[in-house]
Structure 1
Amino acid sequence: MGKDLETEGSRVVLIVYVFLASLAAGLVGGLALLLLVIPGIYVTLRFQSTTAAIMLEERGPVRGLQRSWGISGGNVWTIFGVGLVFFVVSMIFWGGAVLATGGIPTGTTAEVVQGIEQQATYGSAVQYVLTGPIQLCCTVYMYEAFRAK
């Protein structure tokens, strides 16, 4: 890829760190979400910048989680607002994809379930392709802005 082997190797390690940190953040956020909805959302928002912390500052998974927690402290409402905007936009794209694939399915119960499953799959793919890259850019931008404070 035009880079020396040592640099490429360190990127692979960072990707593994991102995976481990995302797994830990997901488990902690999921557990908090099971206990109570509001604490689960709060924990998830605090860990939103974990990937950026690991990749941009070349940190390990635990230090990336700690950095994300620390940097998001006074910015939870900003992160929540941006996430809410992306959630609404994603649902609009998802709904548009459902309508584009035939609307609400009818027929037997099995046909309805199969139609809904297909539409959910298409809707999720369309929503992710259209909003995923922009959301990632916004997450990195927020991380850089919060880090500069």
Structure 2
Amino acid sequence: MSAEQFDDPTLDESPDLYQLLADAFDSLLSVTGAQIVAALTIVGVASDVLAQSLLVQVFEDTLTLIRENADTSQPEAQQLITDLEQAIDAAGLTVDLSVPVLLVGLLGLAILVEAIRIVAVRAFANDELDGVPRALAARRLPIATAYGFVAVILIYLAIVIVSALTFFLLFVPALFVYLGLLFVRQEIAVSDKGPIQAISGSWGLVKGNRWTVLGLAVVLLVVAIGTWLPASLLAGPAGTVGAPLLSGVNLAFGTALVTETYVQLREDTETAAQSAM
């Protein structure tokens, strides 16, 4: 792609990524950051418990099916039964609920995570670091959460479809789409836009700034890997809390960094537009 597609000639300079990182760390280490991480950790623990419970339910149903319909005298069946029993015994904290209830619970928690991230975006965008103001958090929160959840689904579908159609291009088009839609949640949370308007607004804001946004995406990837690796090594009670905690830190920091970049890009774009008038 040409430089004109990535760089906006109306902007004198790109945002300072190092300063954005410093601001994001300040946000993460603030009272507001701690509140966001705590909320995401609690929801993460609950999600893990429900996911483990769902997996155990599936394994137990599979065991019942095998014992009732298969020839358990065969070595293959015996080995499968042993493997399933070991997987059930190795499962962490679980709750005894039906599969439909567990699925509804997981969906509800996913929506709750979106609500928390909407609140985080608003707090970080308004530089509210001494705690999330109740009025800011509650403003149109149900509708913003619904918009954000729908937008996330649309984005994932778009990336999956583009990836499937252009896999021979090494997923470059999918990356292009991902970068263009990176600020959709910010557009919904801060500017009160609907999903389609937010997608259009994010695409327009990223246009001409894709090198900056690409650098941002690389940082997000590095941070995600840096938190996932130690989380994957945790097991037992430590993993039950430690993995969601690290995931919460990753989500909170990523939200702060993307929001800081969004605010800076929007200010730069507005300034450039006023100068051109």
| Structure-2-length-normalised TM-score | 0.42
| Displacement of 1:48 | 0.5
Q: 1:23 to 1:97 in 2, by over 3 A?
A: closer
Query: Is the Cα–Cα contact under 8 Å of residues 93 and 126 in structure 1 kept in the other structure?
Result: no
For residues 14-69 of structure 1, what are the alpha-carbon distances to aligned partners after superposition, in whole Å with 9 as ceiling and x for unaligned? 11111112211221121112222110111011000000001101111111110001
Q: Give the direction of change, closer, same or farther, for the CA distance of 1:96–1:71 in structure 2 (3 Å limit).
A: same
1:55 equivalenced with 2:185 (yes/no): no
The answer as to whether partners of 2:183 and 2:258 remain within 8 angstroms in 1 is yes
Task: Say whether residues 1:16 and 2:180 are aligned partners.
Answer: no
C-alpha separation in 2, matches of 1:28 and 1:122: 33
Over the matched positions of the two proteins, sequence identity in percent amounts to: 23
1:92 has 2:226 as partner: yes
More relative contact order, 1 or 2 (CA 8 Å, 6+ apart): 2
Q: Does 1:142 align with 2:261?
A: yes
Equivalent in 139, 155, 176 of residue 25 of structure 1: 155
Aligned length: 129
Matches of 2:146 and 2:210, distance apart in 1: 27
* SS in structure 2 of the partner of residue 96 of structure 1: helix
Deviations 1:111-145 (A, max 9, x none): xxxxxxxx8x9886354222210110111111111
Q: Which moved more, 1:22-31 or 1:83-92?
A: 83-92
Cα distance between partner residues in 1 of 2:214 and 2:145: 25
Between 1:93-102 and 1:15-24, the stretch displaced more is 93-102
Aligned alpha-carbon RMSD (Å): 2.7
> Which residue of the partner structure matches residue 90 of structure 2?
none
1:131 to 250, 256, 265: 250
TM-score between both structures, scaled by the size of structure 1? 0.74
| 1:38-49 to 2 correspondences below 5 Å | 38-49=172-183
Determine if contact 2:184/2:198 at 8 Å carries over to the other structure: yes
Give the counterpart letter for 1:140 in structure 2.
T
Distance 2:226 2:139 in 1: 40
- Aligned-pair distance for 1:89? 2.6
| Structure with the largest fraction of helix | 1
What are the superposed Cα offsets for residues 70-104 of structure 1, whole Å, 9 maximum, x if unpaired?
001112221221221221232233222334549xx
What SS does the aligned partner of 1:48 have? coil
Q: How does 1:66-77 map to 2 (within 5 A)?
A: 66-77=200-211
CA positional deviation for 1:2: 5.6
Contact 2:227-2:247 within 8 A present in 1 as well = no
CA spacing shift, 1:66–1:95, aligned 2, 3 Å: same
